[in-house]
Each structure stands twice: as structure tokens, then as C-alpha cells.
């Protein structure tokens, strides 16, 4: 089973549903997801240290994951999923 493909599908589904419910479809931007729940929306991927490791930044073009760092100081960087 391709777990990365399933993860990508699930994250895209969560983001798409949130965007449609909040009329953000025309605005672009990034939906931020942590532990399967939307934590917010921003115009562009935020500074990694503003978010804890494990947060996903989902847009129409890419999915990034916050890695490194810790829950207090935030993540060190974004990596593509």
C-alpha cells in the first residue's frame, strides 16, 4: 500500500473541503493542517518557526510538511511531501 499517496489524497481532500466551505477557492493560498484538522489559512507558506513540526501546508500546487525544531520553538523548515 502506498501510504504517501493516501496521505496526499487525504490532505488534499481536507483542504479542498475547507476551502469550498469558506469560499476561499478564488483566493489561492495555503491551508494549514495538523493532526487531520485545519488550523488556518494563509496567503503564502508561513515561516516554519511559526508552526510546530508535523503541520502540513496544502495548496493547489504542492504540499509541504514542517519538520525539525520542537513544539515550543516551532519547526526548522518546510519539506515537500
Predicted local distance difference test score (pLDDT) of residue 28: 85
> pTM (2 decimals)?
0.93
Predicted local distance difference test score (pLDDT) of residue 4: 93
Pick the closest to residue 39 from 68, 69, 3, 11 (CA basis): 11
Range of the domain at 23: 3-80
pLDDT by residue, tens only, the chain of 81 residues: 799 999 999 999 999 999 999 988 768 899 999 999 999 999 988 899 999 999 999 999 999 999 999 999 999 999 999
User: Structurally, how many domains does the chain consist of?
Assistant: 1
Predicted local distance difference test score (pLDDT) of residue 24: 84
Amino acid at each position: 500500500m502506498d501510504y504517501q499517496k493516501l496521505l496526499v489524497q487525504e490532505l488534499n481532500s481536507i483542504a479542498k473541503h475547507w476551502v469550498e466551505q469558506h469560499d476561499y477557492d478564488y483566493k489561492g493560498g495555503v491551508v494549514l493542517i495538523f493532526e487531520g484538522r485545519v488550523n488556518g489559512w494563509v496567503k503564502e507558506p508561513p515561516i516554519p518557526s511559526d508552526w510546530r513540526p508535523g503541520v502540513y501546508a496544502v495548496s493547489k500546487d504542492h504540499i509541504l510538511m514542517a519538520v525539525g525544531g520542537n513544539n515550543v520553538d516551532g519547526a526548522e523548515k518546510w519539506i515537500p511531501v
